[in-house]
Amino acid sequence: MSKSLSILCFGNSLTAGYYNYGLAYHPYAWKLEERLKAAFPTHTIRIDVDGLPGDMVNSPPGRFLPRLEQKCEATSYDWVIMLGGTNDLGYMYPAEKILPGLIQAWTMAIKSGANVLALTVPECGAVHQRLNNTRAELNSQILSYDADSFYVFDLHKEVPYHSAAQDFKEKIWDDGVHMKPDGYDLVGNLIADHLIQLLS
């Protein structure tokens, strides 16, 4: 009997693969699934995507926690890959208001029996010192968080915006917040590299 691996990719528009003003979607999960199937050909691999554009970690007004609870109650996942906080940062919430919601979400997923792979929040096109400082503070807290079954991938470091070469920017980024299909495929490949190492 083949082994199974079930993964939930959870978050907001960046998880959904939003591009072209929301007229099309290309989740990073597609490339991730392709890579995992190639790496583990004897496994049955299931990847679910739950990305709600505009959703916030702060619940309420966001629906991050109730959405996650619903998914984890319905399915027993081996891994939950989670990206949250982008929209909270956009609304200028401070890091100390965002982190507790993320910790609640990570804890909920771990209690359901899953391992968590948390992603740091990537840059965006906006040039705003307060936003940059808050994002840096939040990402530092995500990277330093420690718990059993908890892992982090530094997406912010791996997919730059402001320091990126112009041709990279044009290939990867769609509108300064969301990515193009090539960008989401890059994210899927990067996460796959990291997850394959963890699973091996």
Q: Which domain holds residue 73?
A: 4-199
Q: Residue 1: pLDDT band by 50, 70, 90 thresholds?
A: very low
Q: How confident is the model at residue 81 (pLDDT cuts 50, 70, 90)?
A: very high
Q: Report the CATH number that the domain containing residue 59 is assigned in CATH.
A: 3.40.50.1110
Q: What is the mean pLDDT of residues 54-81?
A: 95
What mean pLDDT value characterizes the chain?
Answer: 95
pLDDT at 2: 60
Total domains in the fold of the chain: 1
Of the candidates 24, 104, 105, 99, which has an alpha carbon nearest to the alpha carbon of residue 71? 105
Per-residue pLDDT reduced to its tens digit, 27-38: 999 999 999 999
Alpha helices in 54-124 (DSSP H): 64-74, 86-90, 95-111
